[in-house]
Amino acid sequence: MIQACPRCQNVPMRASLPVAFLLSALLSGCAFKGEIPPSTHILQSGPFKVDPALLGQPSAARPVPPTTAAIVAPPPVTTSPVSDAPIKLDAIGLRTQRSVYFDVNKANIKADYEPALRAHARYLAEHRQARVRIEGNADERGTTEHNQRLGLNRAKNVQSTLLAHGATKQQVSIKTLGASNPRKLGHDEESWAENRRSDVVYEREE
C-alpha cells in the first residue's frame, strides 16, 4: 500500500480552488454554442427598388411641372380719323341730306346726321353770304302747342350744331311748323317717322 506524501497532505485546500475554477470556465467556453437569431425577411411586391443615393449615385431629378406662358394681348389698333366728306350734289345741283330725323318726342341730334351738318356748316363758313333757314316739324300726334314747341326745339338743336362747326348766327335762322307741313300724308308709323324732322332750307346760295 502506497502512502501519501506527508507534504501533499499538508497543501491547503485554498490553492487548488482557482485552478478548478479556471478549468471549469475553459470547459464551459468550449461547450457553449451561441444561438443565431433567425433572419428577418421583408417581402416586397414588384421589382426591387433601391434609392440611388444609398449606392453613391446621384438621385434622379424630380420632373418640373410645365409653366403656362402669359398671354400678351395685341396692342389696340388705332385708326386715323376720317375727314369730312363734301356734300354731294343731286341732279339739279342741290346739296343732299338736307333733313334731320328725330325719335318720337325727341329733339336731340343723332350721330348719323353729324357729318352732313358739319358739311353744311363748312359751306356756310366758306361762303359768308349764304343763308339757311332751319324748319322744325312734328308728326300729327299731340296738341298743336306741343308740336309747335317740339318743332322749335328741333330747329334750335340743328342751328346750334351748325354754329358749333363754323356758321354764324346771321347765316342761320329757325322756324317751327309743328305738324302743319307733313312730308308724307298718312296715319301710320312710316308717315309719322317721315314728318319728325328738321329741314335745312337754303335761302341764298353762292
In a domain, 194, yes or no: yes
pLDDT, mean over the chain: 75
* CA gap 94, 205 in Å, rounded: 10
pLDDT in tens, 38-61: 555 555 555 556 555 555 555 555
Whether residue 168 lies inside any domain: the answer is yes
Radius of gyration over alpha carbons of the chain, in Å? 60
> Residue 154 sits in which domain range?
99-204
State the pLDDT confidence band at 82, using cuts at 50, 70 and 90: very low
Question: Is residue 147 situated within a structural domain?
Answer: yes
In a domain, 124, yes or no: yes
State the CATH number of the domain containing residue 170.
3.30.1330.60
Report pTM: 0.56
Terminal alpha carbon distance of the chain? 183
Place of cell 322749335: 152
Looking at the 3D structure of the chain, how many domains does it have? Answer: 1
Record the cell numbers describing residue 64, joined without a space. Answer: 418640373
